[in-house]
């Protein structure tokens, strides 16, 4: 049992670290070759920051662990819209424009609703996966027209790096992603069976794990006085429900075995997202008092399974 837990945590660490390095190196290489920061933000970073969820989705679909992949996405979504925002706002209040909250918030809620509807029959097939990815392409178009890509790039990419420095990190990151994703899913399924707990519960905690580094990075940036854009906070919450889950469905049908738990926690995810977005729009940001509320809103998600 200890071996499986150790390998599970190792896989999570490799997956998150590899994704972070590959995305940063890819963005830095693109800047070196003169690609606009806006375009990098719209493509490389918007998709790349959800690589852990995408990798987990692909492996889980391949191994028939549909509950784990859905739990991973729900856990990641819920923790980002509550826990991540709370941590950042407790360090330094978040200030946003209402227009940006509307653009990203609406796209995020639509992505969540699409995920909820596609899981209504407990199976996401390949055709639905394609439609979900097309829905994400529509989000990229919205991001393009709202000119939100450049601010995302500025918060993720630090410098321009030449090929001899960036490419090795990209390949090494991909190796970590592939190996880490395999260890995470296979040992996650084994742990669930050994403990006789639902795979969905393991997925929920995995989602918290893949979000933890983003919470830490955002918290450090806030402490250093950097402005955290609503696009950075909500971006992967738009990618995961449609693109990450859709990618997994292209590999194999994503089938859930515990529809009651999935439906309950999915509903809570949507409700709590609506509450936080409403606060963000009404108050044009999240101050420390509202951050405490966001933190409290996260706690029930660990019990809804």
Extents of the domains making up the chain: 2-302
pLDDT band at 277; cut points 50, 70, 90 = very high
Measured distance CA(95)–CA(72) in Å, rounded: 29
More confident call, 277 vs 103: 277
More confident call, 20 vs 248: 248
Buried residues in 244-273 as b, exposed as e (16+ CB within 10 A): bbbbbbbbbbbbbebeebbbebbebbbebb
Architecture of domain 2-302: Up-down Bundle (1.20)
**pTM above threshold 0.85:** no
The closest alpha carbon to 43, from 26, 20, 67, belongs to 26
4 close to 191: Cβ distance less than 8 angstroms: yes
Alpha helices in the chain (DSSP H): 2-32, 37-40, 46-48, 51-62, 66-79, 85-91, 98-118, 126-146, 149-156, 163-195, 199-223, 230-239, 245-251, 259-282, 288-298
57 close to 244: Cβ distance less than 8 angstroms: yes
- pLDDT, tens only, 98-111: 887 887 888 889 88
Between CA 188 and CA 252, with CA 78 as vertex, the angle to 5 degrees is 45
The answer, yes or no, to whether residue 272 has pLDDT greater than 90, is yes
């Amino acid at each position: 049992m200890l071996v499986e837990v150790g390998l599970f945590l190792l896989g999570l660490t490799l997956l998150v670290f590899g994704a972070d390095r590959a995305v940063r190196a890819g963005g830095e290489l693109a800047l070196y070759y003169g690609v606009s920061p806006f375009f990098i933000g719209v493509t490389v970073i918007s998709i790349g920051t959800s690589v852990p969820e995408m990798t987990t989705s692909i492996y889980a679909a391949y191994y028939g662990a549909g509950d784990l992949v859905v739990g991973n996405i729900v856990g990641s979504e819920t923790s980002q819209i509550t826990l991540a925002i709370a941590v950042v706002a407790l360090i330094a209040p978040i200030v946003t424009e209402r227009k940006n909250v509307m653009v990203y918030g609406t796209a995020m809620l639509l992505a969540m609703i699409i995920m909820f509807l596609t899981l209504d029959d407990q199976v996401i097939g390949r055709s639905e996966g394609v439609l979900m990815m097309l829905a994400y392409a529509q989000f990229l178009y919205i991001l393009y027209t709202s000119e939100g890509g450049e601010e995302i790039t500025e918060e993720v990419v630090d410098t321009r790096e030449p090929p001899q420095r960036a490419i090795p990190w990209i390949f090494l990151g991909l190796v970590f992603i592939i190996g880490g994703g395999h260890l995470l899913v296979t040992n996650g399924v084994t742990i669930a069976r050994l403990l006789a707990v639902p795979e969905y519960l393991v997925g929920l905690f995995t989602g918290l794990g893949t979000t933890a580094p983003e919470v830490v990075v955002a918290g450090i940036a806030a402490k250093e006085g950097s402005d955290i854009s609503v696009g950075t906070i909500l971006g992967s919450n738009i990618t995961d429900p449609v693109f990450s889950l859709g990618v997994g469905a292209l590999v194999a049908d994503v089938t859930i075995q515990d529809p009651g738990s999935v439906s309950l926690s999915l509903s809570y995810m949507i409700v709590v997202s609506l509450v936080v977005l409403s606060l963000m729009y009404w108050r044009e940001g999240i101050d420390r008092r509202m951050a405490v509320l966001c933190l409290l809103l996260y706690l029930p998600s660990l019990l809804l399974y």
